[in-house]
Amino acid sequence: MKLITEEVSKVKFISEGKGANKKLYIEGVFLQGGIKNRNGRMYPVETLSREVGRYNESFVKKGRALGELGHPDGPTVNLDRVSHKITSLVQEGNNFRGKAQLLSTPMGKIASSLIDEGVTLGVSSRGVGSLREDNTGAKVVGEDFQLATAADIVADPSAPDAFVNGIMEGKEWVWDGGTLREQLASRTKRRINTLVDQKRLEEQKLSLFSEFLSNL
């Protein structure tokens, strides 16, 4: 299964309460099915509906639906990077509207400060699943899709990390003893980090990417 992330920029950041009781929330469409998105992928509505139902029962209703600040490398939620808790995720036609509360964690405080200073942020869903191409050229997400989080908080997806994140999204993930294990690209990530340190990433991008694709 592949790590699949989708950026959503049209979300609202709203505050409720005042003073010590003030809470900051993210609200908007977190997931969208039935249409080809800007990444060329299409999520069948029935697949999303089933998976959102499981996610709500297993995570949202139990207060365990967490998201991170930034672009994680894999499908696991890292507790040291958690910035918010998803409090609701409901279906509205082909859309799935969510709401998340910013937490008073270190990453939650950073996200809150960025928002207070007027920084435009978006959210990105994260999950794992297979992909197949249909006759329109869209990459259809398979029925095995599993949502890791409905929303991570992210900045501009065209930021310098875009190349690294694109590489990491192409990794294979397999179930191993009930946990998701990285099948490919830990070596690639180490090489990327080394090249960044040596300021040689630009010149090595093409060969690195070609080598990565040949191993998929």
Report the catalytic residues: 71, 124
Q: How many CB atoms lie within 10 A of CB 94?
A: 15
